[in-house]
Amino acid sequence: MRIKWSTILPHLVLTVFSLAILLPLVWVLRVSLTDKLTAYRIPPEIGHIGLENYVEIFSVYPFERWFFNSLLVALLSTAISLPLATAMAYAFARFNTGGAMLRLGVLASQMLPPIILVLPLFTLFFTTGLMQTHLGLVLSHLTISLPFLAWMLVSFFEGDSASLEEAARIDGATRWQAFIKIAVPVAAPGILAAGLLGFILSWNEFLFALVLSGASTQTLPIGLASMETHAGVEIAPLAAATVVSLLPVFALLPFLRKYLIKGLSLGALK
Amino acid sequence: MSGIKASAADRRDARFGYVLAAPSLTVLFLIILFPVLSALYTSLHEYTLIAPNFDIFTGFDNFRLALADAEFRHSAWLTIRFVIGVVLLEFVIGFGIALMLNKVERFKPIYYAILLCPLLMNPVIVGLIWRMFLHPNLGIVNYLLSTVGLGPVNWLGDTKIAIWTVIMVDIWHQVSFMIVLLLAGLASLPKEPYEAARVDGANAFQCFIHITLPMMRTVIIVTLLIRLIFAVKTYDLIYIMTRGGPGVATDLVSYFIYRTAFVGLNIGEASAMSIILLTAILGLTAYLYRYMRSIR
């Protein structure tokens, strides 16, 4: 039997590529399950397998505080920005509020490098006492999630519900009712998916938390980075902390798949 | 008569639009526009954090200092090369993988599920795990190289290699972004042109050049532009993996501004640099915006 290279070759390349993505993640999982000495042994050996590192990150490091701070900041900033962004996106889509300039402003806000905002936010928070507070962090994360959600949700309202809303208006519904009772429910799956993406953006945020948080308000990324510096060589607990920090994102991924392309392309592609 | 009525309804529509947008706009004004304006103010002053009343207006001095600063010019130029490098490499690899994924049927869902994994990963985590793998003596990468007689390579400690190491890690993290968007574009292409070309005797390469590339044009441009703007912001990976080093070998502009402000405590000059960066980002964003509107 002759081997057809044109069918085998893509699978060969895709397998190598998939392994290049997957093996590092599997290796982190493996390191997280070994003890500290085995984690460093070169050449690697299987050795002991256990959950000690997962216990240690909660007992030796304030992991639950980092986790709680990340969760609190991400939930609050998403809960605030989602309804605000939904209303503005609907105004953009239906009434062209503010025209092209305002939309460009929202897109530009989203593209803004965080380093540009963190300088003035630092001085503002310094003078207003918001430094190192949860409220300050939530406000700083709004600068990421609000423009992202507003921009992304516009395309969800440019779809099917416009004619339904018109019919309802003819039947005597107010503009507000057409928005809340028809447009929002029709777009609800997209709005929720966008909210999940907003949550992940905040969950992953680093620079604002680095500059604006304090010991008691540190988020996970800051905690992980500090583990790396002060523990120096302890990669086994670090791997365990990494695995736990990735769990929420991987858990949300299946719910996002349908909306991923829209989210990544900022609504330009379907 | 009906015209007047319609325009009254239009006016009420417009008013309702502003009512809906007002809360968001207020927040955006307070947390984005106001801080950006205050950065602009700071950039024009000799700024002292502790005694705001002693700020001295210095005009464009901070900008002059920033533009004359050899380290700032180095980091700006390095950022441009880094951005072009990662975007091009990710595009070439991503397009290749997307083309193959578009061709295969079997195992496609498995390949796709795997490549989604890095997509939403925290850059801090990506940096940390790769630092672990790339450790010169204790990392798995150098061990694997040694088994085939290569290395050891000082991945993050060598001034010539470090930037390429960061680029490789960025590719590992971000290439999936390209694949997902380009694959979506490929999947939506019509089949007929390919069938017609095959009848005319065109080979796969000719089909790619004369059919795939022209029809993918808008998808390619949008994907490249978005990735480009995001690559300019690269900060987390540098902070975690190299802190701009060794020396200034990986000192991308976001990290350099951070250092100037929070290590050098030169907030005025750092603000001037961030305004320069802002101008570049605004230009790119305006171009992306115009392009997105033109394809609607």
Q: Are residues A45 and A164 in the same domain?
A: no
Of A111, A119, A126, the CB nearest to B274: A119
Subunit contact B101:A14, Cβ cutoff 8 A: yes
Strand, coil or helix: B5: helix
Alpha helices in B134-247 (DSSP H): 140-147, 162-187, 192-199, 204-207, 213-215, 217-232, 236-241
Q: Do the domain assignments include residue A43?
A: yes
Of A97, A113, A200, the CB nearest to B21: A97
Q: Are residues A90 and A212 in the same domain?
A: yes
Q: Are residues A31 and A94 in the same domain?
A: no
Res B220 pLDDT > 80: yes
Strand, coil or helix: A73: helix
Residue B206's domain comprises 72-294
A 191-210 residues inside an 8 A Cβ radius of B: 200, 203-204, 206-207, 210
Q: Do the domain assignments include residue B51?
A: no
Question: ipTM more than 0.95?
Answer: no
- pLDDT, one tens digit per residue, over A70-115 is 999 999 999 999 999 999 999 999 999 988 999 999 999 999 999 9
Kindly list the residues from chain B whose CB atom is less than 8 angstroms away from the CB atom of residue A96. 17
Q: Do the domain assignments include residue B21?
A: no
Which of A196, A262, A269 to mutate against chain B (most B CBs within 10 Å)? A269
b/e per residue A86-112 (b: at least 16 CB within 10 A): bbbbbbbbbbebbeeebbbbbbbbbbb
- Give me the CATH number covering residue B147: 1.10.3720.10
Instruction: Tell me the shortest Cα–Cα distance from A131 to chain B, in angstroms.
Output: 14
Q: How far apart are CA B264 and CA B270, in angstroms?
A: 9
Q: Are residues A45 and A67 in the same domain?
A: no
- Give me the CATH number covering residue A143: 1.10.3720.10
Of A104, A106, A261, the CB nearest to B181: A261
Q: How far apart are CA B47 and CA B54, in angstroms?
A: 8
Of A42, A116, A224, the CB nearest to B125: A224
Q: Do the domain assignments include residue B6?
A: no
Q: How far apart are CA B123 and CA A32, in angstroms?
A: 19
A73 to chain B, any CB pair closer than 8 A? The answer is no
Q: Are residues A138 and A188 in the same domain?
A: yes
Q: Do the domain assignments include residue A105?
A: yes
Q: Are residues A9 and A140 in the same domain?
A: no
Residue B106 near residue B247, CB atoms below 8 Å: no
Q: Are residues A47 and A66 in the same domain?
A: no
Kindly list the residues from chain A whose CB atom is less than 8 angstroms away from the CB atom of residue B16. 91, 95, 175-176
A 207-266 residues inside an 8 A Cβ radius of B: 207, 210-211, 220-221, 224-225, 228, 235, 238-239, 242, 245-246, 249-250, 252-253, 256-257, 260-261, 264-266
Q: Do the domain assignments include residue A152?
A: yes
Mean pLDDT of chain B: 91
Q: Are residues A226 and A110 in the same domain?
A: yes
What is the mean predicted confidence (pLDDT) over B229-257? Answer: 94
Subunit contact A10:B103, Cβ cutoff 8 A: yes
Residue B129 near residue A28, CB atoms below 8 Å: yes
Strand, coil or helix: B148: coil
Residue A207's domain comprises 62-264
Of A96, A112, A118, the CB nearest to B281: A112
- pLDDT, one tens digit per residue, over A173-203 is 999 999 999 999 999 999 999 999 999 999 9
Res B175 pLDDT > 70: yes
Pairing outcome for strands B45-46 and B56-57: antiparallel
Mean pLDDT of chain A: 90
Q: Do the domain assignments include residue A57?
A: no
The total domain count for chain A is 2
For residue B7, the tally of other CB atoms under 10 A from its CB is 10
pLDDT number for residue B8: 86
Q: Do the domain assignments include residue B59?
A: no
Res A1 pLDDT > 60: no
Q: Do the domain assignments include residue B28?
A: no
Subunit contact B36:A95, Cβ cutoff 8 A: no
The residue type of B252 is: L
Instruction: Tell me the shortest Cα–Cα distance from B160 to chain A, in angstroms.
Output: 24
Subunit contact A94:B17, Cβ cutoff 8 A: yes
Share of chain B above pLDDT 90, in %: 73
Determine what percent of chain A falls in helix, strand and coil, rounding each to the nearest 5.
Answer: 80, 0, 20
Q: Which structure tokens are listed for B201?
A: 């005797």
Residue A266 near residue A150, CB atoms below 8 Å: no
Residue B83 near residue B224, CB atoms below 8 Å: no
Determine what percent of chain B falls in helix, strand and coil, rounding each to the nearest 5.
Answer: 75, 0, 25
Q: Do the domain assignments include residue A270?
A: no
A 35-64 residues inside an 8 A Cβ radius of B: 40, 42-44
- pLDDT, one tens digit per residue, over A23-68 is 999 999 998 998 877 777 777 777 778 888 899 889 888 999 999 9
User: Binning pLDDT at 50, 70 and 90, where does residue B6 land?
Assistant: low
The total domain count for chain B is 1
Kindly list the residues from chain A whose CB atom is less than 8 angstroms away from the CB atom of residue B216. none
A21 to chain B, any CB pair closer than 8 A? The answer is yes
Subunit contact A210:B138, Cβ cutoff 8 A: no
pTM of the complete model: 0.92
Q: Do the domain assignments include residue A227?
A: yes
Subunit contact A225:B124, Cβ cutoff 8 A: yes
Residue A222's nearest CA partner among B118, B232, B236 is B236
Q: Are residues A95 and A19 in the same domain?
A: no
Of B103, B138, B181, the CB nearest to A269: B181
A24 to chain B, any CB pair closer than 8 A? The answer is yes
Q: Are residues A101 and A47 in the same domain?
A: no
Residue B238 near residue B252, CB atoms below 8 Å: yes
Q: Do the domain assignments include residue B30?
A: no
Residues A17, A23, A26: CA angle, nearest 5 degrees: 145
Q: How far apart are CA B114 and CA A61, in angstroms?
A: 31
